[in-house]
């Protein structure tokens, strides 16, 4: 795991990509971010507004990195408004990323904007020659994220991509967790990796236990510091920014708050 760089760096937008009607990728040059482990995150500073955690969605040996942002509030709306040449701040990368196994076949389950954490993992697995299958879930076809990127990666290693939409507008109609269960009934995988809505991840956990398949999942929480001091991201006694954001299945099954509650910006526990 890379050592975090706590010093804030001012970076410039190199280019932006509209991925879906609500999701945008922002590319920038930053050597520490470009060396991140899949699943790690940056603390992203929007001048004059806020600092928020964002998964690093792309890395390269040329020093280029990216974050992929769903517009859900003032801070993310401000990131969506950035254009080439404008600046923002980053520090990190932080957290515990995915642990990669290079034997057998992996199953990746991405829900919504969870592809921001899983796409770099798919990139890495493809470079390593690891066969993997990707389930990509969204509410509707226009919100399916990184289909082309996953298709390129799985094609290179003999894997598959399975789009899933809740409204049935593209691919399989249903939930990504339901499709994961169907696939695990028919095929043995050596690891399940997941990122997306916590309810989806909670539904996949018992399935992984039923089929004795190791499981890793990335969780999302409010983070104010990113370095384990403020406690805003705590789940039970664990800090998502330090002990996570990626947790294994054995850890998740012991957490009472997992899939049940989180803390809001005031620190109050609220239902998920």
pLDDT digits (tens, 9 = 90+) for 217-246: 999 999 999 999 999 999 999 999 999 999
Specify the pTM: 0.95
Low-confidence ranges of the chain (pLDDT < 50): none
Contact (CB, 8 A) for 58 and 2: no
List the domains of the chain with CATH numbers.
Answer: 9-94 (2.40.30.10), 106-271 (3.40.50.80)
pLDDT score at 212: 96
Q: Rg (Cα) of the chain, in Å, rounded?
A: 18
CA distances from 209 to 22, 116, 125, 213, 252 (A): 34, 25, 23, 6, 11
pLDDT score at 2: 56
Spatial separation of the C-alpha atoms in residues 186 and 54, rounded to whole Å: 35
pLDDT score at 165: 98
pLDDT score at 166: 97
pLDDT score at 216: 98
Spatial separation of the C-alpha atoms in residues 123 and 166, rounded to whole Å: 26
CA distances from 122 to 46, 52, 153 (A): 29, 25, 7
Contact (CB, 8 A) for 90 and 11: yes
Cβ atoms < 10 Å from Cβ of 3: 7
Among all chains, which residue has been given the structure tokens 């890793």? 216
């Amino acid at each position: 795991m890379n050592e975090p760089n706590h010093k804030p760096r001012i970076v410039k937008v190199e280019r932006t990509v509209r991925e879906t009607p609500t999701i945008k990728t922002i590319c920038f040059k930053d050597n520490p971010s470009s060396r991140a482990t899949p699943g790690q995150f940056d603390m992203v500073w929007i001048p004059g507004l806020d600092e928020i955690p964002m998964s690093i969605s792309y890395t390269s040996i040329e020093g280029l990195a990216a974050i992929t942002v769903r517009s859900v509030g003032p801070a993310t709306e401000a990131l969506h408004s950035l254009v080439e040449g404008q600046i923002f701040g980053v520090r990190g990368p932080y957290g515990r990323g995915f642990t990669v196994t290079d034997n057998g076949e992996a199953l990746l389950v991405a829900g919504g904007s969870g592809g921001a954490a899983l796409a770099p993992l798919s990139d890495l697995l493809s470079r390593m020659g690891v066969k993997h299958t990707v389930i990509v879930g969204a509410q509707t076809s226009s919100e399916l994220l990184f289909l082309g990127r996953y298709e390129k990666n799985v094609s290179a290693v003999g894997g598959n991509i399975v789009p899933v939409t809740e409204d049935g507008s593209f691919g399989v109609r249903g939930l990504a967790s339901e499709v994961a269960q169907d696939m695990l009934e028919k095929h043995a995988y050596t690891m399940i990796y997941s990122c997306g809505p916590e309810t989806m991840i909670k539904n996949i956990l018992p399935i992984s236990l039923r089929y004795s398949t190791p499981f890793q999942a990335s969780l999302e929480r409010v983070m104010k510091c990113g370095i384990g001091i403020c406690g805003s991201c705590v789940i039970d006694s664990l800090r998502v920014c330090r002990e996570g954001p990626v947790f294994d299945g054995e850890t998740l099954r012991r957490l009472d708050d997992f899939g049940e509650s989180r803390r809001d910006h005031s620190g109050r526990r609220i239902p998920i």
